Amino acid sequence: MKIKIGSLVVAGATLKESPADLTINGQRLIDEAEFCRAESPDFYDRGNERTIVEFNVWRLHETLEEADIFMLDHAKNIPAVADVTLQIEDADGSVVGSRFIKQASCQSVDRRQKGVSTYCRYRIVGGVIVNSLI
């Protein structure tokens, strides 16, 4: 799977950078009303849905300097709010389907470095996953 925030590919740019430990959690926003002397509460669906996408990416850089620069600059290159694209690819790398989260927020990018390798943990929060941006 390839994951893009805006036009920036953060996972799946190469086979070696595919997302690991991908987790997608959905939460419906529903109000609960408990009334005096009622046998059970009433629930009101507000029609909103929150989706949290979290994943890890290990990257191997050519040099230690390249890894250092990536560690310092990567987070500032990611848009704070943008459309997120989740692309499904076949074994040949051809896109066979896409899903989107409109105007999602990349809330955190945790980074670690070990030599010329870097590890990033991404947390993206947005609304419902849709089939089209239109």
Phi-psi region of 37 (alpha: psi -120 to 50; beta: other; left: phi over 0): left
- Which residue reads 């947005």 in tokens? 126
Are β-strands 95-114 and 42-60 bridged in parallel, bridged antiparallel, or unpaired?
Answer: unpaired
Residue 61 banded pLDDT, cuts 50, 70, 90? very high
Give the separation between CA 48 and CA 76, rounded to whole angstroms: 29
Q: Which helix (H) or strand (E) covers residue 72, if one does?
A: helix 64-77
Give the separation between CA 40 and CA 56, rounded to whole angstroms: 42
Could you give the maximum distance between any two Cα atoms of the chain, in Å?
Answer: 69
Residue 57 pLDDT greater than 90, yes or no: yes
pLDDT of residue 20: 92
Residue 30 banded pLDDT, cuts 50, 70, 90? confident
**Which value, in Å, is the radius of gyration of the alpha carbons in the chain?**
19
Give the separation between CA 86 and CA 65, rounded to whole angstroms: 30
Q: pTM of the full predicted structure?
A: 0.85
DSSP code for 90: -
Residue 15 banded pLDDT, cuts 50, 70, 90? low
Summarize the confidence of residues 15-28 as an average pLDDT: 88
Residue 38 banded pLDDT, cuts 50, 70, 90? confident
pLDDT in tens, 116-128: 999 999 999 999 9
- Which residue reads 């805006």 in tokens? 6
pLDDT in tens, 84-113: 999 998 878 788 999 999 999 999 999 999
Residue 37 pLDDT greater than 90, yes or no: no
